[in-house]
């Protein structure tokens, strides 16, 4: 079989990385996956999968060896709002080491293109204080006031990509993710995001009972299904665009509405108990996709209700199974 490209996916043991490897293999590329852990729920389809701590430069050189054409650098220490608001030092140190050293190793090993996965957490917090928030265009990251820790290190790594492009002519791409969800995503343990956390809570709740919701539930977000995310990554890598691009949907929902959608899919009546002391992040955040449409002629199109209908059953089957196994063990 003739492979089209040799591609490295870092963070291939993670949620988005695993889905991306599956898609790249379906497109007949040769793929090496690198991560500090194996995928949680199913084995990787990568041609090679290597356990590497990319905070160490020699491991970054190893990962990018052997005439790799493209690097999708998805490796990151990250999680949901509870985690990223509690661990600023660890997250910032780990991710700065990974990103700076992966860039340099890729350059030294003559990689042709390098895609960096940034985040909507880079956006100026003053522009996210209302639930009915104006969608965030790429230039709204400046003047800089990103989320502490995670947002600052992502914004710095974006600049580092620009410097590598300007100084070395190194082909970099920058993608700002907006809340990706779907099957195989983390749903427990503190690093899960809102759709997965709420799906877990609804799955474990009795019909007619209540679940805890952080904040008053009127904070807003947009959410992107993982298949749209993977399609966008591949299209942005193939583009000639070097500046940061949003990758998300423009479908803004409150967290209360998200609970109602999940409960509807589960066929349950669920009450909400709001925990005003729970972390809730910025008040509102939505993606502005004008530039994405201009550059790619495409944008994410899977509606939240569609994506949740594919995500909830996957999470529910696991948490209900786990609960039953724990009861049997008792």
Report yes or no: 211 and 274 within 8 Å, Cβ to Cβ: no
Residue with tokens 């940061």: 244
**Cα–Cα distance for residue pair 204/188, rounded to 1 Å:** 12
First-residue to last-residue Cα distance in the chain: 52
For residue 150, indicate whether it is catalytic: yes
- The closest alpha carbon to 309, from 181, 205, 209, belongs to 181
Burial label, 243 (beta-carbon count in 10 A; 0-12, 13-18, 19+): middle
**Cα–Cα distance for residue pair 317/323, rounded to 1 Å:** 10
Point out the catalytic residue in the list 72, 123, 150, 164: 150
Quick check: bond before 97 cis, omega within 30?
no
Residue with tokens 């909830």: 312
Residue 136: φ, ψ to 5°: -90, 115
Q: Which helix (H) or strand (E) holds 308?
A: helix 304-329
Give the relative orientation of helices 304-329 and 255-266 as an angle to the nearest 10 degrees. Answer: 70
Residue 8: φ, ψ to 5°: -105, 130
Residues with catalytic function: 150
């Amino acid at each position: 079989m003739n492979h089209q490209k040799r591609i490295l996916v870092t963070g291939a043991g993670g949620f988005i990385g695993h889905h991306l490897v599956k898609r790249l293999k379906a497109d007949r590329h040769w793929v090496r996956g690198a991560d500090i852990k194996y995928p949680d729920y199913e084995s990787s389809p990568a041609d090679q999968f290597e356990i590497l701590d990319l905070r160490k430069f020699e491991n970054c050189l190893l990962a990018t060896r052997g005439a790799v054409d493209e690097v999708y650098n998805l490796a990151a220490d990250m999680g949901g709002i509870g985690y990223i608001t509690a661990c600023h030092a660890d997250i910032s140190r780990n991710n700065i080491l990974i990103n700076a050293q992966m860039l340099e190793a890729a350059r030294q090993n003559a990689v042709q293109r390098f895609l960096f996965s940034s985040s909507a957490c880079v956006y100026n917090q003053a522009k996210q204080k209302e639930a009915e928030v104006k969608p965030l265009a790429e230039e709204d990251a400046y003047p800089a006031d990103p989320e502490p820790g995670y947002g600052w290190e992502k914004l710095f790594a974006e600049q580092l990509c620009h410097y590598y492009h300007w100084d070395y002519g190194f082909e970099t791409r920058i993608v700002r993710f907006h809340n990706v969800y779907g099957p195989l995503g983390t749903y427990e343990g503190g690093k899960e995001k809102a759709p997965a956390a709420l799906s877990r809570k609804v799955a474990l709740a009795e019909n007619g009972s209540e679940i805890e919701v952080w904040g008053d539930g009127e904070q807003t977000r947009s959410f992107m299904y993982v298949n749209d995310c993977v399609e966008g990554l591949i299209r942005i890598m193939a583009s000639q665009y070097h500046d940061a691009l949003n990758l998300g949907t423009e479908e803004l929902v409150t967290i209360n509405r998200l609970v109602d959608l999940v409960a509807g899919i589960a066929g349950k009546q669920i009450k909400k108990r709001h925990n005003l002391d729970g972390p809730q992040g910025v008040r509102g955040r939505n993606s502005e996709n004008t530039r994405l449409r201009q550059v790619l002629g495409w944008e994410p199109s899977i509606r939240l209700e569609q994506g949740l209908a594919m995500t909830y059953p996957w999470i529910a089957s696991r948490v209900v199974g786990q609960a039953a196994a724990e009861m049997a063990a008792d």
